[in-house]
A and B are shown apart, each in its own frame.
Chain A
Amino acid sequence: MSQASADGCGAPAGGAPVTAATDAGTQAVVQGRVTQNGAAVATGYARLLNSGGDFVAEVPLGEDGGFRFFAAPGSWTLRVLAPGNIRAERTVSAQTGKIAQIEVAV
């Protein structure tokens, strides 16, 4: 699984993992899972927008419908896009050293 490094920049499905080297102690993590009728939505995208509504980052959903961002402290909007014109939005507050967990049922 890719880590931030000079030779990579892509968004891994579901988001990069939280590891010992990148633990939530130093990061402002926003993560969660997208479900429909209790089942994971495995095809779709999670986008992070800043407080001004501008795009910041996007990851494809993981097999478990999961997504993860390493944000900065502050208020963010999470937008989910999935086949069938499914769209959902949640606002979230991120803090360094905390994992903000968001469950999105669409």
Chain B
Amino acid sequence: MSRSDVLVDAEWVEAHGGDPGVVLVEVDEDTSAYDKGHIRNAVKIDWKKDLQDPVRRDFVDRAGFDALLSERGISNDDTVVLYGGNNNWFAAYAYWYFKLYGHDKVQLLDGGRKKWELESRELVTEVPQRAKTSYHASEQDSSLRAFRDEVVSAIGGQNLVDVRSPDEFAGRLLAPAHLPQEQAQRGGHIPTAKNVPWSKAADEDGTFKSDDALAAIYGDAGVDFSKDTIAYCRIGERSAHTWFVLHELLGQPNVKNYDGSWTEYGSLVGVPIEVGP
């Protein structure tokens, strides 16, 4: 696995975004940005409506994923290029999600929507018409996803990487500072977790830092690359960004994303919590 296998740049997208076998997908929690303008040929996936079960707190099941991708006109052997807002958080989450369901060829547009916009590249409102397909997902790959009991067992043993902001890690904030501060959970972090905010991995334009810089960031923070790793944040999308860095860019073999993250852990009865930096 190398960087060029998992990342593409804007020039590549401009040259190949309409090629047969390539599907551009804009992914966001709020798809109103897509509706106002998106990269030519891109279809949209709504992180909430399309990827989350409407009743239970869980993903759509395998049949649901099959139906979604078939309806969007995505085939099993297509190269799916994902991008989105929020510095590609939701695109990285979708990348992890596609991998979880066994999609082979997935890539992220480095810098996502932000870099594209800041460079004043073309955005269109025309929605591409893609013929329906018959998509067949694999069973979820459990080696990529962590659940709560596994997280509690990992305390003091595996690397736990808390990718939220230092204020959230310390318990001073309960949500990212672009959202009102909720009171549902206790503040703080999982004991022994290292705080490496997701944003350390990205430059200001949203692109990922070099592999050497990334390795130094996690190494200096105390992440032991000889151990297995679980990344978490508040609901699992910022940590999908870090999962991408550790597993896909740095090639660490055993990295899981804990999508229950702080909104689950911070509400569990009886589990240990640390506060402060």
Q: Which of B87, B197, B263 contacts A6 (CB 8 A)?
A: B263
Smallest distance from the beta carbon of B245 to chain A beta carbons, Å?
Answer: 15
Smallest distance from the beta carbon of B122 to chain A beta carbons, Å?
Answer: 13
Smallest distance from the beta carbon of B43 to chain A beta carbons, Å?
Answer: 19
Q: Would A50 and B166 count as touching, CB distance under 8 A?
A: yes
Per-position binary interface string of chain B over residues 14-43, scored 1 when its CB falls under 8 Å from any chain A CB and 0 otherwise: 000000000000001110110000000000
Q: Would A6 and B177 count as touching, CB distance under 8 A?
A: no
Q: Would B118 and A81 count as touching, CB distance under 8 A?
A: yes
Q: Would B29 and A57 count as touching, CB distance under 8 A?
A: no
- Please tell me if A102 contacts chain B, counting CB pairs below 8 Å: no
Within 8 A of A (CB), among B57-109: 57, 85-87, 89-90
Q: Would B118 and A48 count as touching, CB distance under 8 A?
A: no
Chain A residue nearest in CB terms to B177: A57
* A-chain residues with CB within 8 Å of residue B173 when the two chains form the complex: 72
- Please tell me if B117 contacts chain A, counting CB pairs below 8 Å: yes
> A11-B85, A81-B204 given as contacts; is B29 within 8 A of A69 (CB)?
no
Smallest distance from the beta carbon of A51 to chain B beta carbons, Å?
Answer: 11
In the complex, A13→B87 CA distance in Å? 13
In the complex, A59→B180 CA distance in Å? 13
Binds A, one of B2-10, B128-136, B233-241: B233-241
> A72-B167, A72-B173, A83-B119 given as contacts; is B179 within 8 A of A9 (CB)?
yes
> A2-B30, A54-B166 given as contacts; is B237 within 8 A of A9 (CB)?
yes
> A10-B86, A83-B118, A84-B120 given as contacts; is B237 within 8 A of A69 (CB)?
no
Tell me how many residues of A have a C-beta within 8 Å of chain B: 42
> A22-B180, A69-B178, A81-B204 given as contacts; is B89 within 8 A of A9 (CB)?
yes
* A-chain residues with CB within 8 Å of residue B47 when the two chains form the complex: 10
Chain A residue nearest in CB terms to B86: A10
* B-chain residues with CB within 8 Å of residue A72 when the two chains form the complex: 167, 172-173, 177
* A-chain residues with CB within 8 Å of residue B32 when the two chains form the complex: 13
Q: Which of B119, B167, B181 contacts A4 (CB 8 A)?
A: B181
In the complex, A53→B180 CA distance in Å? 22
- Please tell me if A93 contacts chain B, counting CB pairs below 8 Å: no
Q: Which of B57, B180, B204 contacts A70 (CB 8 A)?
A: B180
Which A residues are within 8 Å of any B CB, using their own CB? 2-13, 15-16, 18-19, 21-22, 26-27, 43-45, 47-48, 50, 54-60, 68-72, 81-84
Which B residues are within 8 Å of any A CB, using their own CB? 28-30, 32-33, 47-48, 52, 57, 85-87, 89-90, 114, 117-120, 165-167, 172-182, 184, 197, 199, 204-205, 233-235, 237-238, 263
Some 16 contacts from A to B, beta carbons below 8 A apart, are: A3-B180, A4-B174, A6-B235, A8-B235, A9-B175, A10-B30, A11-B86, A11-B178, A11-B179, A13-B32, A27-B181, A44-B117, A45-B118, A54-B165, A55-B197, A56-B165
